[in-house]
């Protein structure tokens, strides 16, 4: 589905250049469950952003279903990203001024007329599934961490993506709530055949995932 070939990412810091990713080769297939681990600053989030088409590499290629995304316009890349990827973050990244339902519907805002399904109905189905339906009109700051993360996952799923990219999704949760969120992601992989890529610091969590990628200093040092 998505393939990175010799991808590097170089940031310019004043006069200096900083290489955040060096020659990364990785393929993410449909339905795969992948855990990325490695110390702080090794490039995990940078890699996730490139896999999710949120950012472009400084060199190397990103192929989406075999097509080089460098040949697409910015607009095409945004629509592609919106269709195929959903993002989940450590800090939930919900909008506090919007209620739960509005947060979940946010990614459909500019696309609702194009969607082949009823976004409102899908939002309610997702809230039912994740046991947050009675919170539809509540605001994020009135919810527990686990509930906020389930809202964020529902938001990531609203456009029926093919892949969920979760960057430390359990980092702000206690271990029990964190395990629940992980179970939910595993269930989405099994039942809905979604590809899941999760970044985690927790070696215990990473053991549950069949495919593990270990990074160090911008490189993949171990992959299985």
Site residues for ligand ATP per CB under 6 A:
11, 13, 18, 20, 40-46
The residue from 45, 103, 189, 195 that contacts Mg ion (CB under 5 A) is: 45
Q: Residue 34, interface with Mg ion (CB under 5 A)?
A: no
98 to 62, 125, 131, 155: CA distances (angstroms): 35, 19, 19, 13
Among Mg ion, ligand ATP, none, partner that 210 touches (CB below 5 to 8 angstroms by kind): none
- Encoded tokens for 96: 């506090």
C-beta of 37 vs 147, nearer to ligand ATP: 37
Q: Rounded to an integer, what distance in angstroms lies between the CA atom of residue 4 and that of residue 36?
A: 15
User: In the 8-state DSSP scheme, what is residue 154?
Assistant: H
Least distance to Mg ion from the beta carbon of 45, Å? 3
Least distance to ligand ATP from the beta carbon of 23, Å? 15
Taking phi over 0 as left and psi of -120 to 50 as alpha, with beta for the rest, 38 belongs to left
C-beta of 4 vs 105, nearer to Mg ion: 4
C-beta of 3 vs 167, nearer to ligand ATP: 167
Q: Residue 132 in contact with residue 87, Cβ under 8 Å?
A: no
Contact residues: Mg ion, CB under 5 A: 45
């Amino acid at each position: 589905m998505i393939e990175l070939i010799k991808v590097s990412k170089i940031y310019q810091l004043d006069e200096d250049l900083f290489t955040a990713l060096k020659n990364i080769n990785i393929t993410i297939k449909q339905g795969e469950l992948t855990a990325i681990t490695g110390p702080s600053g090794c490039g995990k989030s940078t890699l996730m952003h490139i896999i999710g088409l949120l950012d472009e590499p400084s060199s190397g290629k990103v192929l989406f279903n075999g097509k080089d995304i460098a040949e697409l316009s910015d607009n095409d890349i945004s629509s592609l990203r919106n269709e195929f990827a959903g993002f989940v973050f450590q800090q939930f990244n919900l909008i506090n001024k919007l209620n739960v339902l509005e947060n979940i519907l946010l990614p459909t805002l500019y696309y609702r007329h194009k969607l082949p399904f009823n976004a409102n109905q899908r939002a309610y189905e997702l809230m039912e599934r994740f046991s947050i339906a009675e919170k539809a009109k509540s605001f994020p700051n009135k919810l527990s961490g686990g509930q906020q993360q389930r809202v964020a996952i529902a938001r990531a799923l609203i456009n029926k993506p093919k892949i969920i990219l979760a960057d430390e999704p359990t980092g702000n949760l206690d271990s029990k709530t964190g395990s629940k969120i992980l179970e939910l992601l595993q269930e989405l992989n099994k039942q809905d055949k979604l590809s899941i890529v999760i970044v985690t610091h927790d070696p215990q969590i990473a053991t549950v995932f069949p495919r593990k990628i270990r990074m160090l200093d911008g490189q993949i040092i171990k992959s299985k």
